[in-house]
Amino acid sequence: DGGITQSPKYLFRKEGQNVTLSCEQNLNHDAMYWYRQDPGQGLRLIYYSQIVNDFQKGDIAEGYSVSREKKESFPLTVTSAQKNPTAFYLCASSTWTSKETQYFGPGTRLLVL
C-alpha cells in the first residue's frame, strides 16, 4: 500500500540530546513537509522540501534541522537548541503540481525526560 510512515511512534529525549525523527513515503511525491502540533493548536510548518537536495525553512525552524538526500525520505532532527521540543510531529507529502494537497503520516510524539 502507498503511504507515509513515521517512526518511532513515541520518542523520548534527554536534556542536551539531539534526536532524529524518520519520515518515509512511497507515493512518489516530490515535496515533503514537517509540521509541529501543540495541544489545542493547529499545525505549524517547520521545514519543507520541494525537491531532492533542497529544503526551506518554515515558520518555526529554529532548533531543527533536516536533510533530503533521497526522494522518499525527509528526516527531521530536533537539536538541543530547541528548548521546548515536547510536541506531536507530523510529516506530509504532496505532488509537485499540487503542493497544497498534502497527505500526512501518523505522527511521532516527542517527550522530554
Partner 1 sequence: GQQLNQSPQSMFIQEGEDVSMNCTSSSIFNTWLWYKQDPGEGPVLLIALYKAGELTSNGRLTAQFGTTRKDSFLNISASIPSDVGIYFCAGQRRPGNTGKLIFGQGTTLQVKP
Return the number of the residue (80 or 104) whose C-beta is nearest partner 1. Answer: 104
Q: Which of 76, 78, 105, 110 binds partner 1 (CB under 8 A)?
A: 105
Q: Does 48 bind partner 1 (CB under 8 A)?
A: yes
Residue with cell 517512526: 7
Site string for partner 1, 56-85 (x = CB under 8 A): --xxx-------------------------
Q: In whole angstroms, what separates CA 12 from the centre of its chain? A: 16
Applying CB under 8 A, which part among 12-20, 36-44, 70-78, 79-87 lies near partner 1?
A: 36-44
Return the number of the residue (60 or 80) whose C-beta is nearest partner 1. Answer: 60
